[in-house]
Chain A
Amino acid sequence: MSHPDFSDCRVLIDPAPPRCHASHITDGALVSVEFGIIGQQLVNGLTLGGMYALLALGYTLVYGILLMINFAHAEMFMFGAYVGLFTLQGLAQIEFFTSSGPALLLLYLLTFLIAMVATGILGVIIERFAYRPLRHAPRLAPLISAIGVSLFLQNAALLWISSRSIPFPVLFEVRTFRVAGANISSMQILIIVTTIVLMLILDTFVSRTRLGRAMRATSQDRDAAGLMGVDINRVIALTFFIGPALGGAAGIFSGMYYGNIKYNMGFIPGIKSFTAAVIGGIGNLRGAMLGGFLLGLLESLAAAYISTGYKDVIAFGILIVVLIFKPGGLLGESVTEKV
């Protein structure tokens, strides 16, 4: 299996012109190479971390409310990328959208909106048919069901769309800025900024609105929240809409950043984002954001200074170490096991 590679852009830029650079392979400003590598890896790590964080939010939201690992969440990343690709291709046929700068912006906004809504709806459907019947079953049952959903979706994409990687077009010109020896592309800036905006919206939604309060209440105590008049099923459905929608957005970013998408593109980022959620303290939204950025940074620094071959091992190693020594994560509370 080959997986999209998050921290080493050189591998996947093949068909399209390079959209991101690792400083040590570009024109080689050897003058500031030491700082250049660190700065470059920091920017790459933040971009990567933004995607991890968006995906990690989905894991943490579902875990916070249902106490289950939504194994199929990685497929939301893949599904969002495919819907995004098809929407982009479809809308680009209309001449208006490619005629001017603001129209192009509108095109991308529409693409993200449609892909996020579609992925969100898929998430709600999965919850309704695969998880809701198992809400009172033993803990292993929903996990196995989620693995089944993941297997199903991955193979649906493989059989019905393509078994190869598909190029993901970028319709605007990507510029590269040179800051202190590091190359920052406008794509990276776009990804980091949009990610942060999406997170701020989510954070405000959860902490300020009525529905957000219902979500927090449900995650504290589902039965008590139900007795207080919170419609539990609606809150859970909403959670399964928001999480996948964010995951779908991360999928489009990944497609834009690496230039191609594939049916199994979700697997490795999925596990890493779960790691990010665990690092931050699973069930904690701000923790997932922090964990995502932290893991992205750690990984790209490790890829530069340790070994690219073992960089996936580094993420899994972090997961195991965190779970053994600080299972509550950085921001999570240590909860005693309920009997």
Chain B
Amino acid sequence: MGAIRSGLQKVTDFFGTRPGKIGFFFVLALFTLFMPVYFQAVGNAFMVRIFALVGIYVLLALGLNIVVGYAGLLNLGYIAFYAVGAYAGMNLGFLVQELLIGLGFLGEKPENWTYWMLLPFAAVPGALAGIMIGGPVLRLRGDYLAIVTLGFGEIVRIAITNNIAGITNGASGLPAIGQNVPPIAGQEWVRTNLSTADFIFSKDLYWYYVIIALVLFAIFVIQRLDNSRLGRAWVAMREDEVAAASVGVNILTTKLWAFALGAAWGGIAGHTYAYWVGFISPESFNFMESVLVVCMVVLGGMGSIPGAILGAVLITALPEVIRALAASPAFSGILTPEQASLVGDYRFLIFGGLMVIMMALRPQGILPSKRRARELHPIDDHVLMQENQELWEAEHKLDTDSDKF
């Protein structure tokens, strides 16, 4: 036992050092970049799609992490922003197509650029929706806000299902008959130039790299935000609204920024999902999806970027990976496909139980941010007692000193 423990200690110590950290990230980067290529090469297109899907959920978790983790506002309707981004991106895309046809130069090229052209704008509808819902309700206290955002998410879903303004095509989803989602620019190029005799650089693989690039960009932006004036204002507000307001943090705009920036990433993820899959319907944007994203942020660790990523990876990928492993010959006999699909069926049950257990035992999540961990786990009682004791002794020493005079 002792040997194992000291061995484990050595391993964790190694990851704490600089070369250890660099090595770990190097391996992680290699895995992220080349694992899908391997799956594509062995013809397992399903796993490539799972990787891309995980990427989408990582984007969502990172976006929600701004709202829930940094600003401490529980948003139970986050998937609405994802839906707004997806529907806005699709409809803008159709507009662009009509414009191109009207201008008379609808060739292969300009049409293919729709996704990229709209990417800078994909965030805008999401952010606007965030401000729209955030503006009136931000005065509400945390738990009321959660219910109102939940209601908002349902309103968006119902509005989409009822074909609001005639642009969502109701329950049958987009694209409707006669409309088409143009393929992404660059996809044909990589297919012709990077494919070999027995390796096809598929559409999903290309999209995977697009999503990974977006995730890296999101990490960069959110990291910078975390260390900015706004990020510190979020933390201050989360810890104590009144104290933050009294030192000059404008609570309303700070909250609005959190809502808008979080929603913007939801919009980008929605736009990307819509163009990647090429089909969206209101079914994809139900309340359970919102709960799943909240679950990712909570399990991973609120307010922590690695935590949000880990949460998204665990929750999205684990059931699928177990299912895929069971189907592979290496695991035949150990895990039958029936048992594996049982894991998939039980996942919501397991996640629900995990949320309860996490809140009781480790509210800061698996990979917590240091600040958030302290806030959720108030200083241990004995530490507090010790400090009080020291304080008391210091004061009394002072008293006895002053007695002498």
**Do A and B interact?**
yes
Interface of B is mostly: helix
Contact in complex: A159, B349 (CB < 8 Å): yes
Contact in complex: A316, B348 (CB < 8 Å): no
Is residue B55 within 8 Å, beta carbon to beta carbon, of the partner chain?
Answer: no
Contact in complex: B359, A151 (CB < 8 Å): no
Chain A's nearest CB lies how many Å from the CB of B393? 28
Contact in complex: B352, A149 (CB < 8 Å): yes
A-B contact pairs, 6 of them (CB 8 A): A138-B375, A143-B142, A145-B360, A148-B353, A155-B349, A324-B136
Of the four ranges (under 10, 10 to 19, 20 to 34, 35 or more), the interface on chain B belongs to 35 or more
A 285-335 contacts with B by CB, 8 A: 309-310, 312-313, 316-317, 319-320, 323-324, 327
Contact in complex: B355, A310 (CB < 8 Å): no
User: What residues of chain A lie closer than 8 Å to B369, measured between beta carbons?
Assistant: none
User: What residues of chain A lie closer than 8 Å to B360, measured between beta carbons?
Assistant: 130, 133-134, 145
Knowing A271-B147, A324-B136, the reply to whether A140 touches B74 (Cβ < 8 A) is yes
Query: Which single residue of chain A is at the shortest CB-CB distance from B348?
Result: A155
Is residue A224 within 8 Å, beta carbon to beta carbon, of the partner chain?
Answer: no
Binds A, one of B42-50, B149-157, B251-259: B149-157
Knowing A1-B288, A312-B154, A324-B136, the reply to whether A151 touches B142 (Cβ < 8 A) is no
Query: Which single residue of chain B is at the shortest CB-CB distance from A130?
Result: B356
| CA of A308 to CA of B242, assembled, Å | 43
B 115-161 contacts with A by CB, 8 A: 136-137, 139-144, 146-148, 150-152, 154-155, 158-159, 161
Knowing A129-B356, A133-B360, A151-B348, the reply to whether A319 touches B151 (Cβ < 8 A) is yes
| CA of A274 to CA of B159, assembled, Å | 21
Chain B's nearest CB lies how many Å from the CB of A278? 8
- Other A-B pairs beyond A1-B286, A152-B353, A155-B352, 7, CB < 8 Å: A69-B143, A147-B76, A150-B352, A151-B291, A151-B295, A151-B355, A271-B151
| CA of A267 to CA of B151, assembled, Å | 11
Knowing A144-B298, A145-B360, A309-B158, the reply to whether A323 touches B352 (Cβ < 8 A) is no
Chain B's nearest CB lies how many Å from the CB of A170? 31
| CA of A140 to CA of B141, assembled, Å | 11
| CA of A145 to CA of B361, assembled, Å | 11
Knowing A159-B345, A317-B155, the reply to whether A141 touches B143 (Cβ < 8 A) is no
| CA of A233 to CA of B295, assembled, Å | 29
User: What residues of chain A lie closer than 8 Å to B294, measured between beta carbons?
Assistant: 144, 147
| CA of A274 to CA of B141, assembled, Å | 15
Interface of A is mostly: helix
- Residue in B154, B291, B351, B352 whose CB lies within 8 Å of A271: B154
B 307-363 contacts with A by CB, 8 A: 345-346, 348-349, 351-356, 359-360, 363
Is residue B63 within 8 Å, beta carbon to beta carbon, of the partner chain?
Answer: no
A-B contact count (CB 8 A): 123
- A-side residues, CB < 8 A to B, are 1, 68-69, 129-130, 133-134, 137-145, 147-156, 159, 267, 271, 274-275, 278, 309-310, 312-313, 316-317, 319-320, 323-324, 327, 337, 339
- Residue in B345, B359, B375 whose CB lies within 8 Å of A145: B359
Contact in complex: B74, A323 (CB < 8 Å): no
Chain A's nearest CB lies how many Å from the CB of B368? 14
- Residue in A271, A313, A327 whose CB lies within 8 Å of B150: A271
| CA of A133 to CA of B377, assembled, Å | 13
Chain B's nearest CB lies how many Å from the CB of A72? 10
Knowing A151-B352, A159-B349, the reply to whether A143 touches B146 (Cβ < 8 A) is yes
Contact in complex: B352, A148 (CB < 8 Å): yes
Among the interface residues A140, A275, A323, which one has the most CB atoms of the partner chain B within 10 A?
A140
User: What residues of chain A lie closer than 8 Å to B351, measured between beta carbons?
Assistant: 148, 151
Enumerate the 8 nearest inter-chain pairs by beta-carbon distance, A residue then B residue, closest first.
Answer: A148-B355, A151-B352, A152-B352, A316-B151, A155-B349, A145-B359, A148-B356, A155-B348
Contact in complex: A144, B352 (CB < 8 Å): no
User: What residues of chain B lie closer than 8 Å to A275, measured between beta carbons?
Assistant: 151
User: What residues of chain B lie closer than 8 Å to A138, measured between beta carbons?
Assistant: 375-376
Q: Digitize B291-309: 1 where CB-to-A-CB distance is under 8 Å, 0 elsewhere.
A: 1001100100000000000
Query: Which single residue of chain A is at the shortest CB-CB distance from B376?
Result: A138
Is residue B180 within 8 Å, beta carbon to beta carbon, of the partner chain?
Answer: no
User: What residues of chain B lie closer than 8 Å to A1, measured between beta carbons?
Assistant: 286-288
Knowing A1-B287, A69-B147, the reply to whether A309 touches B162 (Cβ < 8 A) is yes
Knowing A139-B143, A324-B136, the reply to whether A144 touches B288 (Cβ < 8 A) is no
Contact in complex: B349, A323 (CB < 8 Å): no
- Residue in A137, A317, A323 whose CB lies within 8 Å of B144: A323
Contact in complex: B147, A319 (CB < 8 Å): yes
| CA of A316 to CA of B72, assembled, Å | 23
